[in-house]
């Protein structure tokens, strides 16, 4: 269907990439509009739906029945996705299913779940038959704000997070906020870290809006203000991707808080922190580094800390594994010539990168985050 004939009331943005352009749709209780969106971006009616087991059976069957009712043929694989099994074994398991189902290059894979689901399923789609079309239907706030947009797909190794992967863009990102109502509260809260991050690094007005808005509960997700915040966050990510698809420039700013965050996830074997929680602490450390080298003042650090606490995100560590954290950061995708490119703040809404930050500064800022 031609773009001008589409209903654009829920359109957050159109991502423009070398692999093709795709729409980001954001709204509440909008699942009925999915078939029309699919018809506009894929040519085949065969859908292979790979879903997080947490969504089975209710949400998975709701989605499958909607697609079947609109002329699509669906096959379903349910997987217990988590950071601990975001690895080659899970990929092999999905490959075996795709082989058994005789999936062809013209067929479409749909990812239905959180960030881990999207990363793994997207990686599978990028490598099965050298690439088949795939759709992102994220069901967590973290995935909506960040992971589902931009085509970064991949898996973990024992030595680090997301070390195997590719840039492979979806044909559509479809975000129905109604799925957030069934998340555990901790998972819902965790997702705000990525939204706050977008305000901190690129959009001071979004940050101000988050500062001034009242307490956000899951029951409020149908509120127009909340939908618009998620839309704005998605648009920020989209604009960065459209300008820097392969992370050769400003896209690296999206990694604010992630160097320490990924290290925390790894050293705790992905069992202590949700991704957003680890990123929240990582952003605190990054802000402290920014202050230490004279980029920002104490007031800016406190504003960041206050907004993270407002959204029930952690801002301190209750253990000292500083040496392990430092060691883990040395295997980082953002490293150049052995030096980590740290994403730091130079103001609310403005970020920059620095290399050759003295390790003693990093250690000091990590330890400054530890509470007895």
Over residues 93-118, the mean pLDDT reads 98
User: pLDDT averaged over the chain?
Assistant: 96
pLDDT of amino acid 332: 66
Structure tokens at 151: 């085509």
Residue 3 predicted with pLDDT over 60: no
Q: What's the pLDDT tens digit per position in 209-238?
A: 999 999 899 999 999 999 999 999 999 999
Q: What is the pLDDT of residue 5?
A: 54
CA 244 to chain centre: 17
Structure confidence at residue 7 (pLDDT): 72
pLDDT of residue 247: 94
pLDDT at 74 over 80: yes
- Name the β-bridge partners of 137: 112
- Phi first, then psi: what are they for 70, rounded to 5°? -105, 25
Q: What percent of the chain has pLDDT over 90?
A: 94
Handedness of CA 235, 240, 245, 246 (dihedral sign): negative
pLDDT on residue 331: 78
d(CA 144, CA 136): 9
- What is residue 339's predicted lDDT score, i.e. its pLDDT? 84
Q: What is the pLDDT of residue 119?
A: 99
Per-residue pLDDT band for 334 (boundaries 50, 70, 90) equals low
The region, left, alpha or beta by phi > 0 then psi within -120 to 50, assigned to residue 150 is: left
204 band by pLDDT with thresholds 50, 70 and 90: very high
Coil, strand or helix at 133: coil
What is residue 333's predicted lDDT score, i.e. its pLDDT? Answer: 57
Average pLDDT on 317-328 reads 96
Confidence of residue 248 (pLDDT cuts 50, 70, 90): very high
Q: What is the CA radius of gyration of the chain?
A: 20
The answer on pLDDT for 1 being more than 80 is no
- What is the spatial distance between Cα 137 and Cα 122, in angstroms, rounded to a whole number? 11
Which residues have a catalytic role annotated? 130, 152, 194, 237, 247, 251, 255, 258, 262, 275
Query: Over the stretch 60-71, which tens digit does the pLDDT of each residue have?
Result: 999 999 999 999
Tell me: the pLDDT tens digits for 340-355?
999 999 999 999 999 9
DSSP string, 285-332: HHHHHHHHTTSS-HHHHHHHHHHHHHTT---SBSS--HHHHHHHHTS-
Q: Which structural domains are found in the chain, ordered by start?
A: 3-182 (3.40.50.1970), 189-367 (1.20.1090.10)
pLDDT for the residue numbered 215: 86
pLDDT at 2 over 60: no
pTM metric for this prediction: 0.95
Share of the chain above pLDDT 70, in %: 97
């Amino acid at each position: 269907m031609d773009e001008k004939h589409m209903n654009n009331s829920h359109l957050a943005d159109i991502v423009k990439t070398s692999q093709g352009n795709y729409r980001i749709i954001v709204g509440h209780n909008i699942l009925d509009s999915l078939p029309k969106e699919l018809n506009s971006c894929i040519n085949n009616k065969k859908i292979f739906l790979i879903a997080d087991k947490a969504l089975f059976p209710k949400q998975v069957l709701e989605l499958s029945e909607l697609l079947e009712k609109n002329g699509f043929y669906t096959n379903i694989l349910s997987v217990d996705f988590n950071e601990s099994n975001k690895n080659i074994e899970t990929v092999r398991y999905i490959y075996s299913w795709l082989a058994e189902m005789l999936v062809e290059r013209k067929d479409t894979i749909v990812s239905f779940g959180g960030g881990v689901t999207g990363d793994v399923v997207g990686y599978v789609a990028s490598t099965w038959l050298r690439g088949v079309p795939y759709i992102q239907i994220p069901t967590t706030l973290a995935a909506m704000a960040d992971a589902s947009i931009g085509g970064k797909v991949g898996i973990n190794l024992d030595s680090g997070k997301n070390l195997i992967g590719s840039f492979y863009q979806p044909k559509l990102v479809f975000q129905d906020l109604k799925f957030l109502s069934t998340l555990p509260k901790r998972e819902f809260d965790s997702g705000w870290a990525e939204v706050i991050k977008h305000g901190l690094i690129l959009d001071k007005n979004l940050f101000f809006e988050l500062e001034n808005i009242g307490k956000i509960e899951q029951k409020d997700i149908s509120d127009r203000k909340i939908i618009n915040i998620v839309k704005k966050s998605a648009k920020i990510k989209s604009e960065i991707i459209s300008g820097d698809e392969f992370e050769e420039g400003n896209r690296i700013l999206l990694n604010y808080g992630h160097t320490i965050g990924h290290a925390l996830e790894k050293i705790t074997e992905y069992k202590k922190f949700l991704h957003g929680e680890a990123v929240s602490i990582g952003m605190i450390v990054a802000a402290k580094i920014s202050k230490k080298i004279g980029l920002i003042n104490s007031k800016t650090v406190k504003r960041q800390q206050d907004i993270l606490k407002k959204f029930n995100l952690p801002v301190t560590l209750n253990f000292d594994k500083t040496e392990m954290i430092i060691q883990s950061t040395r295997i980082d995708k953002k490293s150049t010539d052995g030096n980590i490119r740290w994403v730091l703040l130079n103001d609310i809404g403005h970020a920059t990168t620095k290399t050759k930050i003295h390790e003693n500064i990093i250690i000091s800022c990590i330890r400054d985050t530890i509470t007895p």
